[in-house]
Amino acid sequence: MDNKNTKVAVIGGGVIGLYISWKLAEKGYDVSVFDRKKEEALGKKCCSTLVSERINKFIPITEDCIENVIDSCLIHFPKKAVRLDFSPKHLALDRGKVIAILLGLNEKAGTKIILGEDIREIPQGFDRVIGCDGAMSMIRKRLELKNPKMKMGIQFFKKEKSDSNITETFLTSSGFCWQIPKGERIECGALGDLNRAKKDMEKRFGENQEIFVALIPQPYFSLDGGLIIPDDEKVTLCGDAMGLTKPWSGGGIIWGLYAADILVRTFPDFKGYKREIQRFFRFKTMKGIISNKAVHILGRYFPYVIPSRIKYDNDFPSIFGCF
């Protein structure tokens, strides 16, 4: 297949969609990226954008994108606090500025960027279509695929300065609450069941008038890791659209970038992409689900068996898959 004569549509102008479109355009494909939002709204999403330094392997992050460098996470179980020392460290990023970097890279690579256009059907006239359009993916719906299991993410900001490099999480009945120091402000939020997350957040932080809400896909225990990838030669999914998030945190950017790299490497073979995705993520997802449940039980009922301080890779943990 001739790269220059291969027309590719990427639906979704988030981090994962723009990364894929940039890399494919660099390889010489004729790429168009579509998003229903206008440019100024692309970075506005209920997402903490707290990611490990591994993001630098994929995207050239600049200093002005970094709101804080996070060294560790303090997990508050009912009777004990456990400190996870991140290795690698995490970056609290300004999502809008990351999107701006990716838009610039796409423009330089020759990507056609179509914003402010609400795509409601799978676009015609393209040799390949890639759905990166989020948890409620239109592409997934049009392919008549099942939806992933969903949790609710809620976010708000305190107008308080903080120089701390420690983020905190608090165990709840269906997930956790968090707060992340971001220099000039503190981000707070909750991840949990649809009917519990807001109540859990209000119990921890009190009522807040300006909140941001999003559905977060959660992989479930199955032989395919709960991922939803079509058996289609011309249309596929990546990132949140296929239900890919870390089972212990709901974070999707780093795992999504690894998936995006697999897609770019195997492109245009979508069936080969599906095989590689399942090979790479199946065990990681299943291990994460099991260890997450185990740590919740241990932290709630047997906290004395958990060390008070752990060196921890939050992307690919080798001991615990908590949070």
Is residue 323 assigned to a domain?
A: no
Is residue 319 assigned to a domain?
A: no
- DSSP state, 225? T
Q: Report the interhelical angle of 15-26 vs 253-266 (nearest 10°).
A: 30
How far from the centroid of its chain's Cα atoms is residue 190's Cα? 15
CB 28 within 8 Å of CB 34: no
Distance CA 142, CA 11 (A): 13
pLDDT class for 4, splitting at 50, 70, 90?
A: confident
Q: What number is the average pLDDT over the span 310-319? A: 87
Distance CA 157, CA 176 (A): 17
Q: Is 57 exposed, middle or buried (0-12, 13-18, 19+ CB in 10 A)?
A: exposed
Residue 43 has a pLDDT of 60
User: Count of domains in the chain?
Assistant: 1
Q: Residue 40 corresponds to which tokens in the numbers above?
A: 């100024």
The CA angle 32-37-38, to the nearest 5 degrees, is 85
pLDDT tens-digit series, residues 259-279: 999 999 999 999 999 999 999
Is residue 70 assigned to a domain?
A: yes
Distance CA 279, CA 251 (A): 20
Q: What number is the average pLDDT over the span 236-243? A: 96
Residue carrying the six token digits 């897609």: 263
Q: Report the interhelical angle of 253-266 vs 270-301 (nearest 10°).
A: 160
Distance CA 167, CA 74 (A): 6
In percent, the amount of the chain with pLDDT more than 90 equals 72
* Average pLDDT of the chain to the nearest whole number: 91
pLDDT tens-digit series, residues 88-113: 999 999 999 999 999 999 999 999 99
Alpha helices in the chain (DSSP H): 15-26, 95-109, 138-142, 197-205, 253-266, 270-301
Q: Report the interhelical angle of 15-26 vs 95-109 (nearest 10°).
A: 20
Among the listed residues 238, 230, 225, the one whose alpha carbon sits nearest the alpha carbon of residue 271: 230
Residue 208 has a pLDDT of 73
Q: pLDDT at residue 44 above 50?
A: yes
Q: What number is the average pLDDT over the span 311-316? A: 93
Is residue 43 assigned to a domain?
A: yes
Q: pLDDT at residue 143 above 70?
A: yes
Q: What number is the average pLDDT over the span 302-307? A: 90
Instruction: Work out whether strand 176-181 and strand 166-171 pair parallel, antiparallel, or are unpaired.
Output: antiparallel
- DSSP state, 135? T
Residue 221 has a pLDDT of 73
Distance CA 53, CA 266 (A): 25
Q: Which residue has the higher pLDDT, 27 or 207?
A: 27
Distance CA 209, CA 199 (A): 14
Domain span including residue 13: 7-312
**Domain CATH number, residue 298:** 3.50.50.60
Distance CA 189, CA 153 (A): 7
Omega of the bond leading into 268 within 30 degrees of 0 (cis): yes
Q: DSSP letter string over 168-191?
A: EEEE-SSSEEEEEE-BS-EEEEEE
Highest mean pLDDT: which of 32-41, 99-108, 302-311? 99-108
Highest mean pLDDT: which of 143-152, 180-189, 260-269, 274-283? 260-269
Residues 6+ positions from 178 with CB-CB distance below 8 Å: 48, 167, 168, 169, 170, 187, 188, 189, 190, 191
Q: Is 307 helix (H, G, I), strand (E, B) or coil?
A: coil
Please give the backbone phi and psi of residue 170, each rounded to the nearest 5 degrees, phi first: -130, 120
Is residue 321 assigned to a domain?
A: no
Q: pLDDT at residue 69 above 90?
A: yes
Is residue 229 assigned to a domain?
A: yes
Residue 46 has a pLDDT of 63
Is residue 2 assigned to a domain?
A: no
